[in-house]
């Protein structure tokens, strides 16, 4: 028993000695010293700074600009879509019934204003052209009658004046040989001749009657005949003047009526030809048409592109049917939706410039001009339209594309701002690189505000005049991150 006890005590002594030896060999715990803390601070300072050789600076393309005060306008971004300019988007419709005989344009075809794009045969148009021809013929006849009556009126006036002046019939015939007098040449000159004869007879017998060589009764008869002839001539002259003046007025009225009928027939023809067709007038109307009298040429009213074709040759068309849709896509409408929450914030008026971006075109930006500030709210969307005209020949612009429109919400304010590409974001921190000398660039954390027109507002972090890197920024960021990983 005593032997076992000695063995156990010896074993415990060995275990205790071994544990003490193991504990003695463990290393001491590290102690953070002020030197290590200082070294850590120096390490942090080095990580915030990037140094480049002159060669690297040139290859990276470093560009430095000073931070300046810019006038930025607060904006709000509204969603919307591109649409056709309603003034440059037209449907070519037939104004008459007929049959399409020829189609000269297809979707995608560029057309110019006045270009013929299709031909229709319409009996209704043929009848209208025939009526115009008849009305023009009637007008020509009425014009000829008016001109003749007017000439006769002037001739009779001269004839009556010459009679009243007492010129001889031979003088009258000679002077009025080329004048148009109608039947009045015979009636008035005959009455004038009789009046002159009666006057001569009465005058020649008056002396004989005074001597008693001629009976007084006969002289009285001759005097009465003279008076009757004078009265008859005066009456005939007055009635002739009245008649020719009346005929002038009647023929003038008939000509005016014929002219109105021509205008009415031309208006009906132009209505059947359509508003875009060449306007038919008295001077441009071709009276020699025969084979093409029923043809109607459909023409494009604008310069643009055929967007849609709805009918083909040999198809029947009814008045009002659309055959083509043509649009000028060099000018489009950017239609943004202004919802109720934005009404009070947005301050725009017609003529104001706005920015339009399109996600489908890699955020390409375009200038546009406000032309319509809509007031009516669409019950389906709960938004009022804000329309801006966008002028661009970029073929990627297509009606229906989604867009974003930046609209001013207040007056401009002066702030310190740098180009958008100068601001870098990493792990939710925004910073810029400030140049310190030629080849040293220090990271400076900044607080940013709004971004407008390619510039970002800097609320704090840098001051006006600080040299900020605006090109080669991402290369500096990469160098900075690599340096941090290496440490």
Give the CATH number of the domain where residue 318 resides. Answer: 2.40.50.100
State yes or no: pLDDT of 266 exceeds 90. yes
The number of helix segments (H) and strand segments (E) in the chain equals: 9, 24
**Highest mean pLDDT: which range of 16-30, 48-62, 239-253, 349-363:** 239-253
Q: What pLDDT was estimated at residue 435?
A: 85
Within-domain flag for 109: yes
Considering 269, 293, 315, which residue would you say is the last residue of a domain?
269
Domain that holds residue 147: 130-269
Domain check: are 235 and 134 in the same one? yes
Q: What pLDDT was estimated at residue 219?
A: 66
Within-domain flag for 39: no
Tokens, residue 481: 């991150």
CATH code at position 336: 2.40.30.170
Domain check: are 357 and 456 in the same one? no
**Highest mean pLDDT: which range of 23-32, 33-42, 112-121:** 112-121
Q: What pLDDT was estimated at residue 244?
A: 92
Q: What pLDDT was estimated at residue 37?
A: 34
Where is average pLDDT lowest: 38-47, 90-99, 382-391, 475-484?
Answer: 38-47
Q: What is the mean pLDDT of residues 16-43?
A: 40
State yes or no: pLDDT of 485 exceeds 70. no
Domain check: are 60 and 189 in the same one? no
- Quick: pLDDT tens for 146-202: 999 999 999 999 989 998 888 888 888 888 888 888 888 889 888 888 888 888 777
State yes or no: pLDDT of 42 exceeds 90. no
Q: What is the mean pLDDT of residues 140-147?
A: 94
Q: What is the mean pLDDT of residues 402-419?
A: 87
**What percent of the chain has a predicted confidence (pLDDT) above 90?**
36
Domain check: are 152 and 101 in the same one? no
Instruction: List the beta bridge partners of residue 316.
Output: 99
Distance CA(183)–CA(203), nearest Å, equals: 30
Say how many domains are in the chain. 4
Within-domain flag for 7: no
Q: Please tell me the pTM assigned to this model.
A: 0.60
**Confidence class for position 41, pLDDT limits 50, 70, 90:** very low
CATH code at position 57: 2.40.420.20
**Confidence class for position 33, pLDDT limits 50, 70, 90:** very low
Residues shown for the chain: 487
Domain check: are 142 and 221 in the same one? yes
Q: What is the mean pLDDT of residues 100-113?
A: 92
Tokens, residue 16: 């205790």
Q: What pLDDT was estimated at residue 25?
A: 44
Considering 408, 427, 454, which residue would you say is the last residue of a domain?
408
Q: What pLDDT was estimated at residue 399?
A: 92
- Quick: pLDDT tens for 411-463: 888 888 888 888 988 888 889 889 888 888 888 998 888 887 788 888 888 88
Q: What is the mean pLDDT of residues 18-44?
A: 39
Q: What is the mean pLDDT of residues 15-38?
A: 41
Instruction: List the beta bridge partners of residue 487.
Output: none
CA count, 13 A, side-chain hemisphere, 391: 4
Burial class (CB in 10 A: 0-12, 13-18, 19+), 154: middle
State yes or no: pLDDT of 305 exceeds 60. yes
State yes or no: pLDDT of 34 exceeds 60. no
Domain check: are 243 and 314 in the same one? no
Domain check: are 240 and 148 in the same one? yes
Q: What pLDDT was estimated at residue 13?
A: 54
Mean pLDDT, the chain, rounded, equals 83
Domain check: are 134 and 257 in the same one? yes
- Please give the C-alpha separations between residue 108 and each of 105, 299, 306, 485, in angstroms, as whole numbers: 8, 16, 5, 57
Q: What pLDDT was estimated at residue 211?
A: 64
- Burial call 6-35: b when 16+ CB within 10 Å, e when fewer: eeeeeeeeeeeeeeeeeeeeeeeeeeeeee
The torsion region of residue 77 among left (phi > 0), alpha (psi -120 to 50) and beta comes to beta
More confident site: 410 or 12: 410
Q: What pLDDT was estimated at residue 404?
A: 93
Domain check: are 196 and 248 in the same one? yes
More confident site: 140 or 204: 140
């Amino acid at each position: 028993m005593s032997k076992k006890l000695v063995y156990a005590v010896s074993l415990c002594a060995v275990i205790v000695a071994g544990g003490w030896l193991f504990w003695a060999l463990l290393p001491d715990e590290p102690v953070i010293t002020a030197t290590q803390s200082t070294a850590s601070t120096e390490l942090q300072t080095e990580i915030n700074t990037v140094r480049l050789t002159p060669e690297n600076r040139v290859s990276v393309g470093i560009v430095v600009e000073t931070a300046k005060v810019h006038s930025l306008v607060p904006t709000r971004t509204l969603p919307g879509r591109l649409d056709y300019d309603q003034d440059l988007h037209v449907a070519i419709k037939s104004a008459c019934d007929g049959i399409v005989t020829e189609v000269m344009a297809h979707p995608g075809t560029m057309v110019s204003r006045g270009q013929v794009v299709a031909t229709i045969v319409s009996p209704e148009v043929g009848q209208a052209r025939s009526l115009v021809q008849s009305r023009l013929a009637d007008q020509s006849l009425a014009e000829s009658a008016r001109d003749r009556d007017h000439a006769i009126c002037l001739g009779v006036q001269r004839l009556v004046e010459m009679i009243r002046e007492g010129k001889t019939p031979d003088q009258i015939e000679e002077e009025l040989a080329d004048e148009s007098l109608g039947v009045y040449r015979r009636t008035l000159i005959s009455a004038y001749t009789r009046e002159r004869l009666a006057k001569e007879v009465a005058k020649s017998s008056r002396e004989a009657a005074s001597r008693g060589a001629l009976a007084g009764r006969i002289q009285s008869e001759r005097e009465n005949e003279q008076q009757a002839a004078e009265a008859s001539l005066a009456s005939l002259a007055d009635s002739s003047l009245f008649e020719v003046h009346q005929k002038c007025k009647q023929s003038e009225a008939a000509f005016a009526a014929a002219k109105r009928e021509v205008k009415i027939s031309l208006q009906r023809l132009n209505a059947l030809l359509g508003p875009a067709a060449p306007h038919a007038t008295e001077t441009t109307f071709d009276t020699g048409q025969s084979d093409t009298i029923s043809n109607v040429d459909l023409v494009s009213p604008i310069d643009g592109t055929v967007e849609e074709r709805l009918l083909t040759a040999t198809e029947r068309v009814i008045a009002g049917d659309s055959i083509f849709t043509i649009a000028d896509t060099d000018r489009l409408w950017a239609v943004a939706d202004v919802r109720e929450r934005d009404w009070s914030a947005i301050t725009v008026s017609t003529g104001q410039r706005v920015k339009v971006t399109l996600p489908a075109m890699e955020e390409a930006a375009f200038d546009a001009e406000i032309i319509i500030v809509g007031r009516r709210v669409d019950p389906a969307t709960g938004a009022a339209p804000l329309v801006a005209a966008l002028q661009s020949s970029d073929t990627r612009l297509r009606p229906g594309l989604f867009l974003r429109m930046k609209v001013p919400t207040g007056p401009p304010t002066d702030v310190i701002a740098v180009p958008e590409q100068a601001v870098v974001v990493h792990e939710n921190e925004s910073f810029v690189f400030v140049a310190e000398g030629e080849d040293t660039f220090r990271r400076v954390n900044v607080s940013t505000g709004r971004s407008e027109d390619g510039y970002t507002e800097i609320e704090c972090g840098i001051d006006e005049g600080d040299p900020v890197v605006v090109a080669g920024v991402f290369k500096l960021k990469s160098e900075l991150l690599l340096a941090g990983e290496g440490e």
